[in-house]
Amino acid sequence: MTEYGTMLMVFAFAAVVAGALLGLPRLLAPRRLTPVKAEPFECGKDPLGIAEGRFAIKFATVAIFFIIIDIELLFVWPWAMLYRRLGWFGFIEMMVFMAILMVGFLYIWRKGGLEWE
Amino acid sequence: MSPIPAPPVVLGPLLPSLIVVGTAIVVLLLDLLPPRASKAHLGTVALAGLVGALLATLRTWGSGGRAFHDMIVLDDYALFFHIVICYAAALIVLLSMDYLRRAGAESGEGYGLILFSTAGMMVLASANDLIVVFLAIELMSLSLYVLAGLFKRRREAGEASMKYFLLGVFASAFLLYGIALVYGATGTTNFDRIVVAVGAGPRDRLFLIGLGMLMVGFGFKISSVPFHMWAPDVYQGAPTSVTALIATGSKAAVFAALIRLLVAGLRTIQPDSTALLWALAALTMTVGNVVAIAQSNLKRMLAYSSIAHVGYMLVGLVAGGAPGAGAVLFYLLAYTFTTVGTFGVIALCERAGQEAVEVRDYAGLGRRHPLLALTLGLFLLSLIGIPPLAGFVGKFYLFGSAVRAGYVWLAVIAVLNSAVAAYYYLRVIVYMYMQEPEAASASLAPSFAGGLALAIALIGIVLLGVMPAPFADLAQAAVAPLIR
């Protein structure tokens, strides 16, 4: 039961922080609505456009490269938590995994995938 | 903190696929080194890896093993499929060395992806667990989605790649949901334990729904009607050598998993699955053949023809048992050689600097290039099923097994379909030998690699047609350990 109690506390803390971030400006900040502010938030882009509009492919490739690092973290973190208990077996397995991952990273790098222009 | 014991690591049963994956990584790394201008050596390395995997497979024959808690099984059945898949992939690498170079699309990632998808197919053939099936299908398909769009500058290639990807992930979702439901009904994803769990209790609705969803996923990957809509567009838009890989290797691998699960494993629910397969087989044959008649683009026509051939192979699944499954294995071998060869000739034929893909582009080929025309003619005759070529013997075994199992009507439908199919295959031959070419055309000169691929495929179909007995025995021996 105590584990679930901890989780509830995490949820409660998240709710308090998010509520404060949304609620405090409503109480404190001045509100002057302009047409620009009333637009749906689109990262500074015009929210309306033609369906066949073009995006630079660079955004997509960077997002995909991020996944490589992201998935690496997903596996490395639990491994690091249990590092001592897993011993040499865990170490070698992780090095094999990292080596294969690094081939992909090396490939991206040498092919110029990390250059923005 | 007590140490966690290390699980046993047995990599032996994965050796053939590991060789292919290792070669793929080497190809990617070599691609980064000079010479940058020429990629010819990468094709040779890829070919060497596939031949190495083939040798490793042949050496393991009869002495397989299990690994990863029975998730991977390397029995003779898996090894048979390893041979088919490695042969197909090696022929396709040979063709690519000619075709992609002329198209200016030869690249390290092209060969690397062919190898990665081949590794996925090989793992799929030895998968004994639904999770491994899913992983292998994804490894195979993700590589094929990218390969379909290898011609980056062509509009149809983008369309093919995108369509294949969107519909493919949709089918994968069905597959995954089916796996979840089967797990819910039986409490395991392992084939052996699923069979035990299903055999013990009464028929479970949840399990049947899960199995139905698995069939949707598998049906998409082998392009059986009504899940075939993607095939013509993808076959047409993808580079021809990649089309050959999609049409042969990926279908063979998915059939491997399908037979292992349905024909060998779940014999207790055979009445239900047979009714489903009967309908699928009849629909797939008929729709594939009838629509193929209306096609004027040769690659589209062959796409529908390959749908029809999937229908014939499903006839073998309906027949079931060792004769049916063995017949499907033999047919896959014959079909792989024939189809790779047919697409190979198309890849080598050019017309005014463009690929020759329309049927009328082949007018007068018999006079312009007698040898190439003869080769294509033989492959097409094998697809019709004219003796003494491989296609005839394959169909004979398939339909024979259906008749002996008591599915006479299905065999009648299949034979009628073969007669319909003869029309559109023969039309190409008529164009080649009895029509005048529309305009003057450049001479064709296949390179050594392309010629070698066609020669191997041609020898294969003649050999399988003239003396089929050793290969049929091999196929029967391969299914024997599954069906005891």
Q: What is the pLDDT of residues B30-48, one digit of tens each?
A: 988 877 777 888 999 999 9
If you average pLDDT over residues B330-356, what whole number do you get?
85
Sequence-distant (6+) residues with CB within 8 A of A18 are none
CB–CB contact B6 A87 (8 Å): yes
Q: Which of A81, A85, A92, A114 to mutate to test the interface with B (most CBs of B within 10 A)?
A: A85
Q: Which of B2, B28, B36 to mutate to test the interface with A (most CBs of A within 10 A)?
A: B28
pLDDT for B200-235, tens place per residue? 766 788 888 999 999 999 999 999 988 999 999 999
Q: Which of B277, B268, B271 is nearest to B195 (CA)?
A: B268
What is the pLDDT, as a whole number, of residue B458? 93
What is the pLDDT, as a whole number, of residue A38? 77
What is the pLDDT, as a whole number, of residue B130? 94
**What are the structural domain ranges in chain B?**
12-479
Give B-chain residues touching A86 at CB under 8 angstroms: 3-4, 6
B33 and A CB contact within 8 Å: no
Q: Which of B237, B442, B448, B241 is nearest to B347 (CA)?
A: B241
Separation of alpha carbons B304 and B250, rounded Å: 16
CB burial of residue B18 (10 Å; 0-12, 13-18, 19+): middle
Where is pLDDT greater, at A112 or B28?
B28
What is the pLDDT, as a whole number, of residue B352? 52
For residue B155, the cross-strand partners are none
Give A-chain residues touching B1 at CB under 8 angstroms: 84-85
Q: Which of A68, A94, A110, A114 to mutate to test the interface with B (most CBs of B within 10 A)?
A: A110
pLDDT for B284-330, tens place per residue? 999 999 999 999 899 999 999 999 999 999 999 998 888 899 999 99
Separation of alpha carbons B296 and B291, rounded Å: 11
Is pLDDT above 60 for B126?
yes
Strands (DSSP E) along B42-137, which ranges?
A: 65-67, 72-74
If you average pLDDT over residues B261-276, what whole number do you get?
78
Where is pLDDT greater, at B299 or B357?
B299
If you average pLDDT over residues A8-26, what whole number do you get?
92
Complex ipTM > 0.95 = no
Q: Do B283 and B346 contact (CB within 8 A), yes or no?
A: no
**What are the structural domain ranges in chain A?**
2-110
What is the pLDDT, as a whole number, of residue B439? 63
Give A-chain residues touching B4 at CB under 8 angstroms: 82, 85-87, 90
Q: Over the range B355-364, which residues count as b (16 or more CB within 10 Å of their CB) and which as e?
A: bbbbbebbbb
Where is pLDDT greater, at B480 or B309?
B309
Is pLDDT above 60 for B440?
no
B1 and A CB contact within 8 Å: yes
Separation of alpha carbons B168 and B163, rounded Å: 8
CB–CB contact B28 A103 (8 Å): yes
Which of A85, A100, A110 is facing B3, going by the closest CB pair? A85
Please tell me the distance in Å from A108's CA to the nearest CA on chain B. 10
Give B-chain residues touching A84 at CB under 8 angstroms: 1, 3
Q: Do B294 and B220 contact (CB within 8 A), yes or no?
A: no
pLDDT for B456-473, tens place per residue? 999 999 999 999 999 999
Lowest mean pLDDT among A15-24, A44-53, B165-174, B399-408: A44-53
Sequence-distant (6+) residues with CB within 8 A of B107 are B31, B39, B100, B150
Q: Do B209 and B216 contact (CB within 8 A), yes or no?
A: no
Interface of A with B in 51-110 (CB under 8 A): 82, 84-87, 89-90, 100, 103, 106-107, 110
CB–CB contact B32 A107 (8 Å): yes
Give A-chain residues touching B2 at CB under 8 angstroms: 85
Q: Do B292 and B305 contact (CB within 8 A), yes or no?
A: yes
- Tokens 């060969």: give the residue: B111
CB–CB contact B4 A100 (8 Å): no
CB–CB contact A106 B3 (8 Å): no
Q: Which of A107, A108, A109, A110 to mutate to test the interface with B (most CBs of B within 10 A)?
A: A107
**pLDDT above 70: percentage of residues in chain A:** 93
B2 and A CB contact within 8 Å: yes
What is the pLDDT, as a whole number, of residue B464? 92
Give A-chain residues touching B119 at CB under 8 angstroms: none
Which of B1, B31, B32 is facing A84, going by the closest CB pair? B1
Closest residue on chain B to A110 (Cα): B32
Show the CA angle centred on residue A111, arms to residues A110 and A113, nearest 5°: 105
Separation of alpha carbons B464 and A100, rounded Å: 41
CB–CB contact A111 B32 (8 Å): yes
Give A-chain residues touching B28 at CB under 8 angstroms: 103, 107
Separation of alpha carbons B204 and B272, rounded Å: 12
Give B-chain residues touching A54 at CB under 8 angstroms: none
Closest residue on chain B to A79 (Cα): B4
What is the pLDDT, as a whole number, of residue A48? 73
Could you please state the CATH topology (level 3) that the domain comprising A2-110 is classified under. Methane Monooxygenase Hydroxylase; Chain G, domain 1 (1.20.58)
How far CA B314 is from CA of A75, B254, B387, in Å, comes to 41, 12, 22
